[in-house]
Amino acid sequence: MDIFNEATIREHIHIDVDVIREIEAGFTALYEGKAVMPPIMRIDIPENNGEVDSKSAYIRGEDSFALKISSGFFDNDKLGLPSTGGLMFLISAVHGQPVAVLHDNGYLTDVRTAAAGAVAADYLANEEIETVGVIGSGVQARYQLEALSKVRSFNNVIAYSRTRENVEQYCEDVSRMYEIEAIAADDAEQVASKSDLIITTTQSSEPVLQKEWINPGTHITAMGSDAPHKQELDEGIIQLADIVVCDYIEQCEECGELRRALEKKLVDKNSVLELGQLTKHKRKPRTSKNDITVADLTGTGVQDTKIALLAYNRLAETVG
């Protein structure tokens, strides 16, 4: 059994077009019924503001599949530790024996989550983007922007976070990395008012975006709501949107932005598309530049298996 540590994985696995296309293929496989994916196993540790998730999926035709254990402890900055951790086991689908351990400390989860955001934006956002709005200033806020840059060009970024110091540092880093203007907003409403595309990357349990703030033509990628108690979007935004897409409808009914909108009957479940429907048919559903589109991304075991297989194959070739 091979064991790869975080440093080696980070050296060889980056957010690139190959990663994005692999995650896209995963969505297609999920929609086509080629994946065996159990429900998420989740453990909440409220006294330490922590959570641990286990996700997995076998994709028919692949010789291995991933079992991912991922943690998020959101007060870890006080301890001088990263907020995310975890690892992926790669298990043979032929004989059931372990193939590899990818001790990535959550890095591969971050990469595949960002890649999913890029897939959603590629299929849903307008082709011409001037300003990207970001709610949040952590690791995923950075990776989502990096992945987006592989599928869309943009000239400005406006970001908001509850901690002013963090968002100012984020904007400074973004300006330097992409050689564009990045400004810190005073609030989330200011972000929404100036953005063509909005990415929400928070752990919020209350909406950070309101229906009244959303301009015609906006695309929203919401990726922070991956548990029943989390919510980044006012459910009225789901009702307002012309097109709503999710990664996996059964999962989003339980823990995504869709959950409350469906509970309140603000949206018909049958009108919601799965991302795999778009990737399978290479279909971009916008009918107008003024359409409002929303992607509700909760993260699937299929994404974990896809990124684990790509990482293992690349590492086996380059590291041995």
**pLDDT average, residue stretch 3-20:** 97
Q: Are residues 51 and 137 in the same domain?
A: no
Residue 119 lies in a domain: no
Residue 113 lies in a domain: no
- Binning pLDDT at 50, 70 and 90, where does residue 268 land? very high
Q: Are residues 144 and 75 in the same domain?
A: no
Residue 117 lies in a domain: no
Report the distance separating Cα 214 and Cα 281, nearest Å.
Answer: 29
Q: Are residues 65 and 179 in the same domain?
A: no
Residue 264 lies in a domain: yes
**pLDDT average, residue stretch 304-312:** 98
Report the distance separating Cα 154 and Cα 162, nearest Å.
Answer: 24
Write out the chain in H/E/C secondary structure.
CEEECHHHHHHHCCCCHHHHHHHHHHHHHHHCCCEECCCCEEEEEHHHCEEEEEEEEEECCCCEEEEEEEEEECCHHHHCCCCEEEEEEEEECCCCCEEEEECCCCHHHHHHHHHHHHHHHHHHCCCCCCEEEEECCCHHHHHHHHHHCCCCCCCEEEEECCCHHHHHHHHHHHHHHHCCEEEECCCHHHHHHHCCEEEECCCCCCCCECHHHCCCCCEEEECCCCCCCCCCECHHHHHHCCEEEECCHHHHHHHCCHHHHHHCCCCCHHHCEEHHHHHHHCCCCCCCCCCCEEEECCCCHHHHHHHHHHHHHHHHHHCC
Q: Are residues 153 and 84 in the same domain?
A: no
- Binning pLDDT at 50, 70 and 90, where does residue 97 land? very high
Residue 23 lies in a domain: yes
Report the distance separating Cα 26 and Cα 28, nearest Å.
Answer: 5
Task: Identify the domain containing residue 135 by its residue range.
Answer: 124-299
CATH (domain of 40): 3.30.1780.10
Residue 66 lies in a domain: yes
Q: Are 122 and 152 in contact (CB under 8 A)?
A: yes
Give the β-pairing of 98-102 and 197-200: unpaired
Note the pLDDT tens digit of each residue in 76-85: 989 998 888 8
Note the pLDDT tens digit of each residue in 40-78: 999 999 999 999 999 999 999 999 999 999 998 989 989
Residue 184 lies in a domain: yes
Q: Are residues 90 and 217 in the same domain?
A: no
Q: Are residues 101 and 154 in the same domain?
A: no
Q: Are residues 136 and 260 in the same domain?
A: yes
**pLDDT average, residue stretch 246-274:** 93
Q: Are 235 and 266 in contact (CB under 8 A)?
A: yes
Q: Active-site residues: which are they?
A: 68
Q: Which residues contact 78 (CB under 8 A, 6 or more apart)?
A: none
Q: Are residues 273 and 221 in the same domain?
A: yes
Q: Are residues 152 and 279 in the same domain?
A: yes
**pLDDT average, residue stretch 102-131:** 97
CATH (domain of 277): 3.40.50.720
Note the pLDDT tens digit of each residue in 134-169: 999 999 999 999 999 999 999 999 999 999 999 999
Q: Are residues 154 and 197 in the same domain?
A: yes
Q: Are residues 128 and 77 in the same domain?
A: no
Q: How many domains does the chain have?
A: 2
pLDDT value, residue 96? 97
Q: Are residues 9 and 150 in the same domain?
A: no
Residue 116 lies in a domain: no
